[in-house]
Every structure is written in C-alpha cells, then in structure tokens.
Chain A
Amino acid sequence: MNVLGIIGTEKGAFLIRSDESRQAWTIDGPVLKGWKVTAAARDDEGTFFLGTASQIYGATIQTSKDLTEWTQVECGPAYPEEADRKLKQIWKILPGNNTYWAGVDDAGLFRSDDKGAHWAPVTGLNDHATRASWFPGAGGLCAHSILIDPTNPNRMWCGISAVGVFRSEDGGSTWTPKNEGVPVIIEDKEHKDIGRCVHTIVLDPTDPNTVYRQDHLGMFVSTDAGDSWKRTENGLPKRAFGFPLVIDPETKALFAFPLEADEFRLPVEGKFTVYRSRTGGDSWEPLTKGLPQENAYMGVLRTAMAVDTLSPCGVYVGSTSGTVHVSSNLGDSWQTLDCVLPRILTFETFLED
C-alpha cells in the first residue's frame, strides 16, 4: 500500500508517493504543466479528476486513469452563454455514490449523474432566493465545501465564502441558509441569514449532526447539523482566523492552521504552526515539532491541508510559498519535503495498491 498525494499548484500538479511508513517520499510532476490545479479527487472506479484553471483560458475538469494521460470533460460545469456569471475556478470535486458534485466560482454547485461525463447546474442553490445578495470575498465568490451525510445522502451542506453555509434535505433540490450563531460579516438589507464568511466546513465521520466550521470570524461547531453554531476556540490564537480545517476519520482529531487576523493573514510571530484538537474542538494545542518556527511567513490556503486514512493518521500541509510538510503520526512530528513548488492551492491524498 502506497500513499499518493496530489498537490495542486499555480503551475500544475505534483505527485508525492511513499509507502505506509510515510518517511521517504518521491516527487513527480508537474502534471498539466502551466495550469492552475485547483481541485483533485478520485472516484470508486479509480478515475482521477483535476480542476484546472487559467487566467487566460478558463476553468475545466480533466480526468485520467493513470495520472499521465488527461482528457478534458467536454460537458463540464458551465454557465449558459450570455449569463452574467462566469466560471472562473473549480473549487471542489466530490464523487458521491451515484451523483458527483462540483463547487465552483462564481459560486454555484454542479452535479453529474453519469460519473462526471456531463454536469448540470444545481439550480436550487445557484438560483437561490438570496442569490442577488451574494458578494465575493477576497478569495472570490466560491462554493468551496460540499459535505454529504454518509447515513442520509439526501442531507448535504455547501459552504460559500462571504455568503455562508447552506443545507439541503432533499439531495440538493432545495437549500436553506444555516448560519445562526455565527456573526454577520456583510449584512444584507433583506436576507439576514446570509452574509457569513465560511472558510471551510468538515463533518464528524461518525456523528453527522456534528459539523465544524473554520469561519472568517472564528472556529465554530454545530451539534444539530448546522441549525445553530457556537464558538470552539480554546487554545487557538486570538480571533481564531484561518482557512483550512481537516479531520482524522479514525480518531476525529481536527487540524487547523490559524493566522494572525484577517488584516495580516500571516502565521503568528512567523511560526508555521498547525493546531490540533483531540477533544472535538473543545481545546486546541499547537504542533511545532519539525515545522519552521523562525521567520516562516507563508500561509496555507483553505484546501491545501489534507489527512490520509491510515493509522496513525497522516497530515499534509502545502504552503503558499510552495513548501510541503508531512506528518505520519497525527501531527506529533513533521518533516519538510525537499522541494519548493509553486504556490500550493490544493492537497488531496489517496491510497494506492
């Protein structure tokens, strides 16, 4: 069994591989050289999906069985011609059991019911009653997070930056904002239930009523599937501002990368520190062993942190300066790989036979 990491950067994807010890890594790439790689996924049939984008040539989904030969999805996510919305980036690709989902900028969801060959807009969200009041944050107007309740596939969540979290109870047909308890960041005159700036959401692997939320205005948890949220920031730096959030599927340990306030967006005091909670967010501890702790001012984007499914859990962090940091022991210690890649946009891991 090998671990494969797909690291999406501003200039292509890089592939890292190791055996289960996760001590010695090979680095290959770039794949799709020159293209921004903004999302990565693999379905149950072993097909890989990459979201690619270019400032010049637009955004598409590319697929491959072998990570070498790539084929563009011809009927990928697209807004209609003459629409006032533009497809700028694929933020998330989530192959579900029967339906595959994609979250994009300009914010919206698309779905495919034929394993990613043809994609259609999810109009219940894309044309939501609040849509006219959606405004982009610094990272764009992006639908970046998609969660599906493993016990009830009709229940889903979607996180949209500077708008908030929406939940569906009917497999994506209709959506309701779920942001009670999270402070407003951009108040709308009419729609008081949006205007929240969610950065990432993750689902408890065994309790689908528990959802964690790294928000622009702090770290939150909901124990009622998003109906209400409360702060869960003990031990995090002041304001608990950050972007990525991941969870170990086995121990439920949470990992975050807090930054010093939204006006700076830098690691606190130049210490590149991952924070971990082994208590469901009730308390957080800094993880520093093997991470740069002097003059380290790179950030970590919202999808540039990952875990694997081995035991103990591996944790993976790609920085905006292109450095790659790997832990094979739940974050207790880290190694920095011998590479400096382009700005890292996304990081996903997979097990290989």
Chain B
Amino acid sequence: MAAVTIQLPSLLDPIVHGERRIRVEATTIRQALDALFQSHPQLKVHLFDESGSFRQHVLCFYNETNTRWLESLDDPVKDGDTLTILQAVSGG
C-alpha cells in the first residue's frame, strides 16, 4: 500500500470542514478514490455523477497527468503521489 495525498478545491471546504488535503492508503488510483469515499462518503456525490464517473466539469490529476488520459484508474500508485481534484471551468 502506498501513502497518497488527495487535494480538494476550496469550494468543497464546507463538505470536508476545511480538511482539503486528505491522506489515504492505496495501491491504485481507483483504490485511493474508494478510500476517500470511504472516509468521506459525502464527497462522492460531488465528484461522481449518476453514471458512476467523474462529473463533466470535475478533473482529477494523478501527479501531473489528467486521469482522463489514462486507460483506466487501475494504474498503480506509489508513496508520495498526489491526486488533485480541480474544476474544469475557467475564464468566462
């Protein structure tokens, strides 16, 4: 198991009561997200929609890589990795 840090955007502050850097133990990206939803079940509805996938405007970066460009979320993670949740809407 690797220690992975998940970083959340500030709009989700009220949901996690300010705890926006959350450490989980996991062997894959998917397991890390599952661990996040296990410890903070109220987050799942904000990140995933009814299709069971990330909401249209939610981005997840595995270190520097957008997870949408990965073949699956089953890629292994290692100690010190970071998953960063961002919103995919800018400008306007």
Residues of A within 8 A of B (CB): 32, 34-35, 54-58, 60, 62, 70, 72, 74, 76, 78-83, 85-87
- The answer to whether B41 and A74 touch across the interface, beta carbons within 8 angstroms, is yes
Given contacts A56-B55, A70-B14, A74-B41, 19 further A-B contacts (CB under 8 A): A34-B10, A35-B14, A56-B11, A57-B11, A57-B55, A57-B58, A58-B46, A58-B49, A58-B55, A62-B14, A72-B42, A78-B45, A78-B50, A79-B50, A80-B50, A81-B50, A81-B51, A82-B52, A87-B50
- The answer to whether B58 and A72 touch across the interface, beta carbons within 8 angstroms, is no
Cα–Cα distance between A52 and B42 once the two chains are bound (Å):
13
In the complex, the chain B residue whose C-beta lies closest to that of A85 is: B50
Q: Tell whether A76 pairs with B57 under 8 Å between CB atoms, given A35-B11, A57-B12, A81-B52.
A: no
Cα–Cα distance between A349 and B42 once the two chains are bound (Å):
28
Asked if B15 is at the interface of the complex by the 8 Å CB criterion, the answer is: yes
- The answer to whether B14 and A56 touch across the interface, beta carbons within 8 angstroms, is no
On chain B, the residues within 8 Å of A81 by CB distance are 50-52
Cα–Cα distance between A32 and B11 once the two chains are bound (Å):
9
On chain B, the residues within 8 Å of A58 by CB distance are 45-46, 49, 55
16 sampled A-B residue pairs with Cβ under 8 A: A55-B89, A56-B55, A56-B57, A56-B58, A56-B88, A57-B47, A57-B58, A60-B42, A60-B46, A62-B14, A72-B15, A74-B42, A79-B50, A80-B50, A81-B51, A85-B50
In the complex, the chain A residue whose C-beta lies closest to that of B42 is: A72
- The answer to whether A82 and B89 touch across the interface, beta carbons within 8 angstroms, is no
On chain B, the residues within 8 Å of A54 by CB distance are 11, 46
Cα–Cα distance between A85 and B49 once the two chains are bound (Å):
10
Cα–Cα distance between A80 and B11 once the two chains are bound (Å):
25
Cα–Cα distance between A241 and B65 once the two chains are bound (Å):
51
Name A's interface SS.
loop
Of B10, B11, B14, B46, chain A has the most CB atoms within 10 Å of the CB of B14
Closest-CB distance, B86 to chain A (whole angstroms):
10
On chain B, the residues within 8 Å of A56 by CB distance are 11, 55, 57-58, 87-89
Closest-CB distance, A264 to chain B (whole angstroms):
25
In the complex, the chain B residue whose C-beta lies closest to that of A69 is: B17
Closest-CB distance, A193 to chain B (whole angstroms):
29
Cα–Cα distance between A54 and B58 once the two chains are bound (Å):
11
Closest-CB distance, B79 to chain A (whole angstroms):
29
On chain B, the residues within 8 Å of A60 by CB distance are 42, 45-46
Cα–Cα distance between A122 and B22 once the two chains are bound (Å):
36
Query: In residues 1-44 of chain B, which contact A (Cβ within 8 Å)?
Result: 10-12, 14-15, 41-42
Closest-CB distance, A286 to chain B (whole angstroms):
38
Cα–Cα distance between A80 and B51 once the two chains are bound (Å):
9
Closest-CB distance, B34 to chain A (whole angstroms):
15
Closest-CB distance, B58 to chain A (whole angstroms):
6
Q: Tell whether A83 pairs with B50 under 8 Å between CB atoms, given A55-B57, A57-B58.
A: yes
Cα–Cα distance between A57 and B42 once the two chains are bound (Å):
11
3 closest A-B pairs by beta carbon, nearest first, are: A57-B46, A72-B42, A56-B57
Cα–Cα distance between A76 and B41 once the two chains are bound (Å):
12
- The answer to whether B51 and A82 touch across the interface, beta carbons within 8 angstroms, is yes
Cα–Cα distance between A32 and B12 once the two chains are bound (Å):
10
On chain B, the residues within 8 Å of A35 by CB distance are 11, 14
Cα–Cα distance between A254 and B55 once the two chains are bound (Å):
42
Closest-CB distance, B68 to chain A (whole angstroms):
15
Cα–Cα distance between A80 and B45 once the two chains are bound (Å):
11
On chain B, the residues within 8 Å of A83 by CB distance are 50
Cα–Cα distance between A57 and B46 once the two chains are bound (Å):
4
Cα–Cα distance between A275 and B2 once the two chains are bound (Å):
65
Cα–Cα distance between A78 and B46 once the two chains are bound (Å):
12
Closest-CB distance, A296 to chain B (whole angstroms):
27
